[in-house]
Homo-oligomer: A and B are copies of this chain.
Amino acid sequence: MATGRNHRPATRSRGIPEATVARLPLYLRALTALSERSVPTVSSEELAAAAGVNSAKLRKDFSYLGSYGTRGVGYDVEYLVYQISRELGLTQDWPVVIVGIGNLGAALANYGGFASRGFRVAALIDADPAMAGKPVAGIPVQHTDELEKIISDNGVSIGVISTPAGAAQQVCERLIAAGVTSILNFAPTVLSVPDGVDVRKVDLSIELQILAFHEQRKAGEEAATRRGPDGDMSAVMPA
Protein backbone atom coordinates (compact mmCIF):
# COMPACT_ATOMS: atom_id res chain seq x y z
CA MET A 1 0.00 0.00 0.00
CA ALA A 2 1.52 3.24 -1.07
CA THR A 3 0.31 6.12 0.98
CA GLY A 4 -1.00 9.43 -0.25
CA ARG A 5 -0.75 10.92 -3.67
CA ASN A 6 0.87 8.78 -6.27
CA HIS A 7 4.25 10.37 -6.59
CA ARG A 8 5.55 7.83 -8.97
CA PRO A 9 9.21 8.28 -9.81
CA ALA A 10 9.56 9.27 -13.44
CA THR A 11 5.88 9.76 -14.11
CA ARG A 12 6.74 10.72 -17.66
CA SER A 13 4.42 8.70 -19.79
CA ARG A 14 5.49 8.63 -23.37
CA GLY A 15 7.82 11.51 -22.54
CA ILE A 16 5.16 14.02 -21.49
CA PRO A 17 6.17 15.66 -18.20
CA GLU A 18 3.57 15.76 -15.47
CA ALA A 19 3.79 19.54 -15.28
CA THR A 20 2.92 19.75 -18.95
CA VAL A 21 -0.06 17.41 -18.57
CA ALA A 22 -1.38 19.65 -15.82
CA ARG A 23 -1.30 22.62 -18.19
CA LEU A 24 -2.90 20.95 -21.19
CA PRO A 25 -6.45 21.46 -19.88
CA LEU A 26 -5.64 25.13 -19.50
CA TYR A 27 -4.53 25.43 -23.10
CA LEU A 28 -7.51 23.43 -24.20
CA ARG A 29 -9.89 25.82 -22.50
CA ALA A 30 -8.27 28.85 -24.10
CA LEU A 31 -8.27 27.15 -27.49
CA THR A 32 -11.92 26.19 -27.19
CA ALA A 33 -12.78 29.81 -26.54
CA LEU A 34 -10.85 30.82 -29.67
CA SER A 35 -12.50 28.08 -31.65
CA GLU A 36 -15.95 29.35 -30.67
CA ARG A 37 -14.95 32.77 -31.95
CA SER A 38 -13.85 31.07 -35.19
CA VAL A 39 -10.25 32.21 -34.83
CA PRO A 40 -8.30 30.05 -37.31
CA THR A 41 -4.75 30.33 -35.95
CA VAL A 42 -3.04 31.61 -32.85
CA SER A 43 0.55 32.39 -31.97
CA SER A 44 2.30 30.98 -28.94
CA GLU A 45 2.47 34.47 -27.52
CA GLU A 46 -1.27 35.09 -27.77
CA LEU A 47 -2.26 31.68 -26.50
CA ALA A 48 0.20 31.88 -23.64
CA ALA A 49 -1.30 35.18 -22.57
CA ALA A 50 -4.80 33.69 -22.65
CA ALA A 51 -3.71 30.71 -20.61
CA GLY A 52 -1.67 32.80 -18.21
CA VAL A 53 1.70 31.20 -18.85
CA ASN A 54 5.07 31.99 -20.39
CA SER A 55 5.17 31.58 -24.17
CA ALA A 56 8.43 29.62 -24.11
CA LYS A 57 6.87 27.18 -21.70
CA LEU A 58 3.87 26.79 -23.92
CA ARG A 59 5.99 26.06 -26.96
CA LYS A 60 8.01 23.51 -25.07
CA ASP A 61 4.82 21.91 -23.78
CA PHE A 62 3.49 21.59 -27.31
CA SER A 63 6.81 20.26 -28.52
CA TYR A 64 6.23 17.20 -26.32
CA LEU A 65 3.07 16.47 -28.26
CA GLY A 66 4.78 16.88 -31.61
CA SER A 67 5.36 19.68 -34.07
CA TYR A 68 1.92 21.06 -34.59
CA GLY A 69 2.79 24.66 -35.33
CA THR A 70 3.79 26.52 -38.47
CA ARG A 71 6.73 28.88 -38.17
CA GLY A 72 5.91 32.41 -39.03
CA VAL A 73 2.19 31.74 -38.56
CA GLY A 74 1.35 29.99 -35.32
CA TYR A 75 -0.87 27.06 -34.41
CA ASP A 76 -4.02 25.90 -36.13
CA VAL A 77 -6.68 26.24 -33.46
CA GLU A 78 -8.96 23.40 -34.52
CA TYR A 79 -6.14 20.96 -35.07
CA LEU A 80 -4.61 21.77 -31.70
CA VAL A 81 -7.95 21.36 -29.94
CA TYR A 82 -8.19 17.93 -31.46
CA GLN A 83 -4.64 16.92 -30.61
CA ILE A 84 -4.85 18.01 -27.00
CA SER A 85 -8.26 16.43 -26.56
CA ARG A 86 -6.91 13.19 -27.89
CA GLU A 87 -3.82 13.37 -25.72
CA LEU A 88 -5.92 13.97 -22.64
CA GLY A 89 -8.25 11.13 -23.55
CA LEU A 90 -11.24 13.39 -23.92
CA THR A 91 -12.31 11.93 -27.23
CA GLN A 92 -13.78 9.07 -25.30
CA ASP A 93 -16.55 8.95 -22.75
CA TRP A 94 -15.57 8.75 -19.08
CA PRO A 95 -18.34 7.65 -16.75
CA VAL A 96 -17.74 8.90 -13.19
CA VAL A 97 -19.49 8.25 -9.92
CA ILE A 98 -19.79 10.77 -7.12
CA VAL A 99 -19.87 9.29 -3.64
CA GLY A 100 -21.19 11.43 -0.81
CA ILE A 101 -24.04 13.69 -1.84
CA GLY A 102 -23.88 16.41 0.78
CA ASN A 103 -23.64 20.07 -0.06
CA LEU A 104 -20.43 19.61 -1.96
CA GLY A 105 -21.46 16.41 -3.72
CA ALA A 106 -24.67 18.06 -4.88
CA ALA A 107 -22.71 21.05 -6.13
CA LEU A 108 -20.40 18.75 -8.07
CA ALA A 109 -23.35 16.90 -9.57
CA ASN A 110 -24.76 20.22 -10.75
CA TYR A 111 -21.42 21.49 -12.00
CA GLY A 112 -21.65 21.94 -15.75
CA GLY A 113 -17.93 21.54 -16.31
CA PHE A 114 -18.18 17.84 -15.65
CA ALA A 115 -20.53 16.99 -18.44
CA SER A 116 -18.95 19.39 -20.90
CA ARG A 117 -15.81 17.46 -21.79
CA GLY A 118 -16.33 13.76 -22.07
CA PHE A 119 -17.23 13.23 -18.44
CA ARG A 120 -20.61 11.74 -17.66
CA VAL A 121 -22.02 11.41 -14.18
CA ALA A 122 -22.99 7.75 -14.20
CA ALA A 123 -24.34 7.69 -10.67
CA LEU A 124 -24.67 9.55 -7.38
CA ILE A 125 -24.09 7.44 -4.31
CA ASP A 126 -24.79 8.22 -0.65
CA ALA A 127 -24.81 6.23 2.56
CA ASP A 128 -27.94 7.90 3.89
CA PRO A 129 -30.98 5.70 3.13
CA ALA A 130 -33.18 8.80 3.28
CA MET A 131 -31.37 10.16 0.23
CA ALA A 132 -32.02 7.08 -1.88
CA GLY A 133 -34.18 7.78 -4.88
CA LYS A 134 -34.15 11.51 -4.34
CA PRO A 135 -33.07 13.22 -7.56
CA VAL A 136 -30.07 15.56 -7.48
CA ALA A 137 -29.26 17.40 -10.68
CA GLY A 138 -31.80 15.15 -12.35
CA ILE A 139 -30.06 11.96 -11.28
CA PRO A 140 -31.59 9.76 -8.58
CA VAL A 141 -29.27 9.12 -5.63
CA GLN A 142 -28.49 5.46 -5.02
CA HIS A 143 -27.51 3.79 -1.80
CA THR A 144 -23.94 2.75 -1.02
CA ASP A 145 -24.97 -0.89 -1.09
CA GLU A 146 -25.23 -0.60 -4.87
CA LEU A 147 -21.71 0.80 -5.25
CA GLU A 148 -19.99 -2.30 -6.56
CA LYS A 149 -22.78 -3.11 -8.98
CA ILE A 150 -22.89 0.44 -10.34
CA ILE A 151 -19.14 0.52 -10.92
CA SER A 152 -18.99 -2.74 -12.79
CA ASP A 153 -22.23 -2.27 -14.75
CA ASN A 154 -21.11 1.11 -16.05
CA GLY A 155 -17.44 0.35 -16.42
CA VAL A 156 -16.56 3.25 -14.17
CA SER A 157 -12.85 3.89 -13.70
CA ILE A 158 -12.97 7.37 -12.16
CA GLY A 159 -14.54 8.03 -8.78
CA VAL A 160 -15.15 11.29 -6.94
CA ILE A 161 -15.19 11.20 -3.15
CA SER A 162 -17.08 14.00 -1.42
CA THR A 163 -17.93 12.21 1.81
CA PRO A 164 -16.95 13.35 5.30
CA ALA A 165 -13.31 12.64 6.15
CA GLY A 166 -14.16 9.68 8.34
CA ALA A 167 -15.80 7.72 5.56
CA ALA A 168 -13.36 8.54 2.78
CA GLN A 169 -10.79 5.78 3.23
CA GLN A 170 -13.42 3.08 3.41
CA VAL A 171 -15.25 4.40 0.36
CA CYS A 172 -11.91 4.65 -1.42
CA GLU A 173 -11.15 1.02 -0.76
CA ARG A 174 -14.54 -0.12 -1.97
CA LEU A 175 -14.20 1.93 -5.14
CA ILE A 176 -10.80 0.43 -5.86
CA ALA A 177 -11.93 -3.10 -5.08
CA ALA A 178 -14.78 -2.59 -7.53
CA GLY A 179 -12.43 -1.52 -10.30
CA VAL A 180 -11.91 2.23 -10.01
CA THR A 181 -8.31 3.26 -10.74
CA SER A 182 -8.51 7.07 -10.53
CA ILE A 183 -9.88 9.03 -7.61
CA LEU A 184 -10.61 12.69 -7.12
CA ASN A 185 -10.72 13.26 -3.38
CA PHE A 186 -12.50 16.20 -1.79
CA ALA A 187 -12.47 14.76 1.72
CA PRO A 188 -9.83 16.31 3.99
CA THR A 189 -7.87 13.10 4.52
CA VAL A 190 -4.84 11.36 3.17
CA LEU A 191 -5.97 8.34 1.21
CA SER A 192 -3.93 5.15 1.12
CA VAL A 193 -4.13 3.47 -2.22
CA PRO A 194 -2.27 0.60 -3.88
CA ASP A 195 0.15 1.18 -6.71
CA GLY A 196 -1.47 1.80 -10.03
CA VAL A 197 -4.26 3.93 -8.59
CA ASP A 198 -4.08 7.68 -9.14
CA VAL A 199 -5.36 10.05 -6.50
CA ARG A 200 -5.78 13.77 -6.88
CA LYS A 201 -6.75 15.82 -3.90
CA VAL A 202 -8.74 19.01 -3.71
CA ASP A 203 -8.65 20.52 -0.27
CA LEU A 204 -10.36 23.85 0.28
CA SER A 205 -9.06 24.29 3.77
CA ILE A 206 -5.45 23.75 2.72
CA GLU A 207 -5.74 26.31 -0.06
CA LEU A 208 -7.05 28.87 2.39
CA GLN A 209 -4.26 28.16 4.83
CA ILE A 210 -1.65 28.70 2.14
CA LEU A 211 -3.27 32.02 1.30
CA ALA A 212 -3.28 32.94 4.98
CA PHE A 213 0.44 32.27 5.16
CA HIS A 214 1.19 34.66 2.32
CA GLU A 215 -1.30 37.15 3.65
CA GLN A 216 0.40 37.16 7.03
CA ARG A 217 3.76 37.58 5.39
CA LYS A 218 2.52 40.58 3.45
CA ALA A 219 1.12 42.13 6.63
CA GLY A 220 4.30 41.47 8.59
CA GLU A 221 6.62 42.74 5.90
CA GLU A 222 6.45 46.41 6.80
CA ALA A 223 7.07 45.66 10.50
CA ALA A 224 9.89 43.21 9.79
CA THR A 225 11.77 45.78 7.77
CA ARG A 226 12.65 47.59 11.00
CA ARG A 227 15.22 45.28 12.51
CA GLY A 228 16.34 42.79 9.95
CA PRO A 229 14.63 39.85 8.29
CA ASP A 230 14.45 37.53 11.30
CA GLY A 231 12.30 39.13 13.97
CA ASP A 232 12.89 37.88 17.50
CA MET A 233 10.03 35.61 18.56
CA SER A 234 11.28 34.45 21.96
CA ALA A 235 8.42 36.16 23.74
CA VAL A 236 5.93 33.61 22.45
CA MET A 237 8.11 30.55 23.01
CA PRO A 238 6.73 28.19 25.67
CA ALA A 239 8.97 26.44 28.17
A223 sits at the interface (CB 8 A): no
Choose among B103, B214, B230 the residue that contacts A106 (Cβ–Cβ < 8 A).
B103
Quick check: B113 and A188 within 8 Å, CB to CB? yes
Interface string of A81-104 (1 = CB under 8 A from B): 010001111101010100000111
A114 sits at the interface (CB 8 A): yes
Is chain A's binding surface mostly helix, strand, loop or mixed?
A: helix
Choose among B89, B103, B212 the residue that contacts A212 (Cβ–Cβ < 8 A).
B89
A200 sits at the interface (CB 8 A): yes
Closest 6 CB pairs of A and B: A4-B52, A89-B216, A113-B205, A52-B190, A103-B107, A107-B107
Quick check: B104 and A206 within 8 Å, CB to CB? no
Choose among B49, B104, B158, B182 the residue that contacts A111 (Cβ–Cβ < 8 A).
B104
Quick check: A89 and B205 within 8 Å, CB to CB? no
Quick check: B200 and A117 within 8 Å, CB to CB? no
Quick check: A213 and B110 within 8 Å, CB to CB? no
The residues of B that contact A210 with a CB separation of less than 8 Å are 21-22, 25, 200
A24 sits at the interface (CB 8 A): yes
Chain B residue with the shortest CB-CB distance to A201:
B207
A163 sits at the interface (CB 8 A): no
Quick check: A157 and B4 within 8 Å, CB to CB? no
Quick check: A205 and B117 within 8 Å, CB to CB? yes
Distance A182 CA – B213 CA, assembled complex (angstroms): 10
The residues of B that contact A52 with a CB separation of less than 8 Å are 3-5, 190, 192
